Structure 1
Amino acid sequence: MKTSNKQLPASQRETLLGILKARFEKNKGRHNGIEWTAVQTKLEAHPEKLWSLEEMERTGGEPDVIGYDKKAAAYLFADCAAESPKGRRSLCFDGDALASRKEHKPADSAVEMAKAMGIELLTEEQYRRLQELGAFDLKTSSWIQTPAAIRKRGGALFCDRRYDHVFTYHNGAESYYAARGFRGLLTV
């Protein structure tokens, strides 16, 4: 699903911008040296990105700015909810994994849901960087992007934080658990 045709009504756009601004100002340590006015200007120039951020918010992700990519001249938003977003749990890894399940299929897969939302799963490096900004996934876990060689063999990777350490694990891509979801990244 393309998000380029997705736009929020003006009232919803203003409400979302208010939520994002309040979160931005409350959590300044996540984005040192970045000014909200510059972020808002960029968001207003890309309404399809606001649609994706609304989807992140609607599913419990609590998106916030976590950095700026100088090469791409873009702000990075990630899900900063304390636990893996509630509206994105109990998902297998990807569409192939979902199709391979014969019974007890979950409602969706992490990769397909992220794609429909116009976002990407975090890489392991991005997940570890996020953990430097706070303590996330203390009770839940989150699927992350998985190297093709692992996925080809039926596996997929996920991460969590336990004992004040970030762990990366593997599981069958078709597995799903009530406490496992995914965190997304949006570049604006």
Structure 2
Amino acid sequence: MRSNKKELSPEQREELLGALKDRFEKNMHRHKGLEWGQAQAKLEANPEKLWSLSEMERTEGEPDVVAYDEETNEFIFCDCSKESPKGRRSVCYDREALESRKKNKPENNAIDMATAMGVELLTEEQYRELQKLENFDMKTSSWIQTPSDIRELGGAIFCDYRYGQVFVYHNGAESYYGARGFRGSLRV
């Protein structure tokens, strides 16, 4: 059973670090020139970030290092599951959208889930960069951060990858589909 504290037991920490290391080593094309030991040291120094990665893992996001920001000295983790994470699908965009539904409400929304996990939804630019590493969301789609002017008009945007291209679409923010979730990003 999970406690309300955002920390992992020593056993959970070791299991997660092992899974992250294995994924890192099996997917070197995602992080050329980076070393796992440096990323692990940053994670061990930031247990709340490790907890966020465990939430990404628990919801089947398969987080992995996708970049390193030299200016901020941060590793950037992102959900690298082939399709939008299964544990985060069938959600509308945000709380306002969820509350606007009169019936058939989804259980949750992408923004609140991401906040609770300690991650951020990808931006359009981040989504496009992720697709340069390999092809994701070929059967599903993922909500992305929506500009305020679009959101104020009731919309939200999402992306997917079809026909060799990234497509950016719009929908009412209150919509939800079994094949749409969200991908998270975490800086450590």
Q: Secondary structure at the match of 2:166?
A: strand
In structure 1, the partner of 2:25 is 25
What is the deviation of 1:37?
A: 0.4
Percentage of pairs with the same residue:
66
Residue 96, structure 1, aligned to residue 72, structure 2: no
In structure 2, the partner of 1:111 is 111
Residue 64, structure 1, aligned to residue 71, structure 2: no
In structure 1, the partner of 2:176 is 176
Q: Secondary structure at the match of 1:49?
A: helix
| Alignment TM-score, normalising by the size of structure 1 | 0.97
Aligned residue type for 2:74: A
Please give the residue correspondences for 1:33-182 in structure 2 after superposition, counting only pairs within 5 Å. 33-182=33-182
Aligned equivalents of 1:132 and 1:144: distance in 2?
A: 17
Aligned equivalents of 2:69 and 2:90: distance in 1?
A: 31
Please give the per-residue CA displacement for 1:27-85, whole angstroms capped at 9, x wherever unaligned. 00100111000000000000000100000000000000000111211000000000000
Aligned equivalents of 2:71 and 2:153: distance in 1?
A: 34
Number of residues paired by the alignment? 184
List structure 1 segments (4+ residues) > 4 angstroms apart after TM superposition: none
Aligned equivalents of 1:146 and 1:124: distance in 2?
A: 9
Aligned equivalents of 2:27 and 2:14: distance in 1?
A: 20
Unmatched tracts of structure 2, length 5 or more: none
What is the CA RMSD across the aligned residues, in angstroms?
0.5
Please give the per-residue CA displacement for 1:65-119, whole angstroms capped at 9, x wherever unaligned. 0001112110000000000000000000001000111110000000000000000
Unmatched tracts of structure 1, length 5 or more: none
What is the deviation of 1:178?
A: 0.3
In structure 1, the partner of 2:7 is 7
Please give the per-residue CA displacement for 1:5-38, whole angstroms capped at 9, x wherever unaligned. 5110000000000000000000001001110000
Q: Secondary structure at the match of 1:171?
A: strand
